[in-house]
Structure 1
Amino acid sequence: MEKPTIFYFVHAHGNGHRAIFNLLYPELSEFFNVIAVTTNEEVTEYLQWNHRVEILQLPPKYPPNYEIPEHTFSKAFEMTPYEIEPAFRAKSFAEAIIKYQPKAFYCDGVPEIAIMSRSMGLPVVLVHLPGNIIQDPTQVFAHELADHIVAHFPASLEQENYRFATKTFYSGYLSKYFQENLIQNKSLNENPVTIILGYDNYDESVLRNITSDLNTKFTVIGNKRKYNLAENCVQLGRVKNISDGISGKIVISAAGQNTVAEMFSLNKTLILLPESRPYDEQKIHAEILAEEGIALLAKENFTAQDWKNILSEAKSFKPLNKNVVNPFAAKEIAQKMNNWYA
């Protein structure tokens, strides 16, 4: 029997969306013919290299050399230009819907495409992230029109002002490293400390403050630049398997969902230094985790002494992170999709 088709949109920003696709694609493929939708050549190449998946790459919505305006959240569709390119994107998407006749659109990012999908008669399953989405009319509309919403985090970490909880499935965090948690050495020394550079990377001055204690060894993982740091720092650059590069129990990282999930699944104590995002999603995510006693929260303006203090606190910190990572999350999401649309 031929499997029904679904479209799965993979957002281009950061690595987390790709990591989630890596986990969900095999499970969804048990029930569906999954066609990945992208808007970016780099993402397309990544998916082609890592998966035998058919890909629909939509044309750009911006004309060449277009200066993208700052997102003010003042009106719906403010990031869609008054140009012909959005029409070509819509035409390409409509033709694909007619050709493949998908049962649903799993949208991990870009609310405009979710809205476009629903306007063409295609049910939308919207991926929900923490952040100030309520201030953005486009995001609100996408949440309102979605058949179902999936949050890749626990319900206990939801914001109080979120209005769509009744149609949201909270899967818990997803992580490819969950099984490694079972074999982690519980007696790991807190020294050294690992720093995982985020998508944007930190300023060198911030890293120097973090690593100012020369009695502590730091392992720095990241791929965008090399820093002029003291001899107590080892810079690994990009690593294929982040779990192999981590030294010690304490990890300093940004607050993206994927990194947080992976570190919790590896039984690490997290000090979060969130990066700037349009909806303050990392800031809000980190603040909620700190309020719930799951992680420690740092700030970019921390002095060297502030970092010494929080690193000292981390050594005795007991994170309340039990069951926040769900080892069956990908299977459960796929089963939900099967129940809804197969």
Structure 2
Amino acid sequence: MQHLYEPNLPTVFFYVHHHGAGHITRAELLITKLQNSYNVVVLYGDLNVKIALNKVCKRSIFEKLPSKWAGQSAVQRSYNTAFEGIEYSEAPLERSITFNLLAQQYKPVLFISDVSAELTIMARSIGLPVLMQRHSGDISGDPTQVFAYECATKLYAPYPKQLETPHYSYFNKTHYLGFISKYTGCESATNTDFGSCITLLMTDAQSAALIARTLIKYTEHVEVIGCQGEAIEGVTYKGKVSNIDQAISANVVVSSGGNNAVSQLLSLGKKLIVIPENRPYQEQDEKARMLAKNNLAVHLPFSAFLQHNNAQIEAALVNVRKTQTNKTQIINATEQFTSEFVELVKEVAIES
């Protein structure tokens, strides 16, 4: 460990959540940039985070936090009760002790939370400033999230300000970094006429088959990227791919509302129909509504396919042609994105 540690540099803690590709994708970029000015101790709960980040963040130190869920990976939650599901047991106690001992050992000048409400609160309780990632969606009904937002010194949002929900209460302490995409400046491999093909980006095979079976009624060909699935005439499955810019054949893409997927597809100039997945705080629903409000995409609920609402589906396929993407207003260059983040870190961190 010692050879990774630069004694003349201040140290920051960076917690990276394992759920969703966006957390790790952002962390790769931000930690790589941060390492020029800081020792970065990556806190994680899932080994996959370390495996992914260790490939690119060569000078980072990795420390595993015990799970706060006693004997299980998570619990069913309603997101309306403070510290919901955390039992009176040794599991959260061990997690808290580990966090505090690590803080005592490394003496960080900042805790970056991407994203844990409970660790944000814990960090502030021991005198650490916190830079917390802003979750999309409405967190106002979850007391733990609300208190974490109150505790955070500042928040950063990995999306443009115009996509923020109008009822959000923390505009003044949130810095909007904009979308970022590894495909910024890339040309898409689109090779079909508008409307002759639709690309469906989806990892769940059952949902993909249901949607593809409906979409094929309105186009000559549907290609599904992200999974293999049921054989349907006119539908081909490409499975998981490493680069969607080369895999997508269509101008029109139907996708979930994940931050990573939306930013990448908009950076490629795709006409986007967003079918939100069920997420805490209606995260993807809120994003889809704001994308539609700004004429960047069409919001199409999954219920339209379950209820065979052909009128709603047909309207979405017509309206998606009218969407407009001004990339300069919503997509940030990688260097600009990371530089703004580092300046935010310097602003919030304790002076060493």
Contact preservation (8 Å) 2:296, 2:323? no
Aligned ranges 1:65-214 → 2 under 5 Å: 65=72, 68-180=74-186, 183-184=187-188, 189-190=193-194, 191-198=196-203, 202=207, 204-213=209-218
* Structure 2 equivalent of residue 39 of structure 1: 45
1:45 deviation in Å?
2.0
Aligned ranges 1:240-251 → 2 under 5 Å: 240-251=242-253
Q: In structure 2, the residue corresponding to 1:270 is in which secondary structure? A: strand
User: Counterparts of 2:161 and 2:51 in 1: how far apart (Å)?
Assistant: 34
* Structure 2 equivalent of residue 19 of structure 1: 25
Unaligned ranges ≥5, structure 1 = none
Which AA in structure 1 matches 2:214?
N
User: Counterparts of 1:320 and 1:301 in 2: how far apart (Å)?
Assistant: 30
1:209 deviation in Å?
1.6
* Structure 1 equivalent of residue 234 of structure 2: 232
Change (3 A) 1:184 1:45: closer
Contact preservation (8 Å) 1:132, 1:279? yes
Contact preservation (8 Å) 2:198, 2:252? yes
Change (3 A) 1:118 1:29: same
1:319 deviation in Å?
4.1
User: Counterparts of 1:254 and 1:211 in 2: how far apart (Å)?
Assistant: 18
1:92 deviation in Å?
0.9
TM-score (norm 2): 0.88
* Deviation by residue 1:72-112 (Cα, 9 ceiling, x = unmatched): 23321113222110010111111111111111111011200
User: Counterparts of 2:328 and 2:233 in 1: how far apart (Å)?
Assistant: 36
1:242 deviation in Å?
2.0
Change (3 A) 1:211 1:188: closer
* Deviation by residue 1:182-233 (Cα, 9 ceiling, x = unmatched): x4579963232211115797253233223334x422221114xx21132322
1:294 deviation in Å?
1.1
User: Counterparts of 1:37 and 1:208 in 2: how far apart (Å)?
Assistant: 43
**Structure with greater contact order relative to length (CA < 8 Å, sep ≥ 6):** 1
Change (3 A) 1:260 1:246: same
User: Counterparts of 2:184 and 2:25 in 1: how far apart (Å)?
Assistant: 14
User: Counterparts of 1:291 and 1:6 in 2: how far apart (Å)?
Assistant: 38
Which AA in structure 1 matches 2:343?
Q
* Deviation by residue 1:46-81 (Cα, 9 ceiling, x = unmatched): 222343232111011122257x54322332111322
Q: In structure 1, the residue corresponding to 2:224 is in which secondary structure? A: strand
* Structure 2 equivalent of residue 331 of structure 1: 339
- Aligned alpha-carbon RMSD (Å): 2.3
Q: 2:221 aligns with which of 217, 223, 232?
A: 217
Change (3 A) 1:317 1:145: closer
* Structure 1 equivalent of residue 68 of structure 2: 61
Q: In structure 1, the residue corresponding to 2:42 is in which secondary structure? A: strand
User: Counterparts of 2:329 and 2:189 in 1: how far apart (Å)?
Assistant: 19
User: Counterparts of 1:199 and 1:122 in 2: how far apart (Å)?
Assistant: 40
Q: In structure 2, the residue corresponding to 1:12 is in which secondary structure? A: coil
User: Counterparts of 2:140 and 2:50 in 1: how far apart (Å)?
Assistant: 30
Q: In structure 1, the residue corresponding to 2:253 is in which secondary structure? A: strand
Which deviates further from its counterpart, 244-253 or 313-322? 313-322
Q: In structure 1, the residue corresponding to 2:200 is in which secondary structure? A: strand
Contact preservation (8 Å) 2:215, 2:222? no
Change (3 A) 1:82 1:199: farther
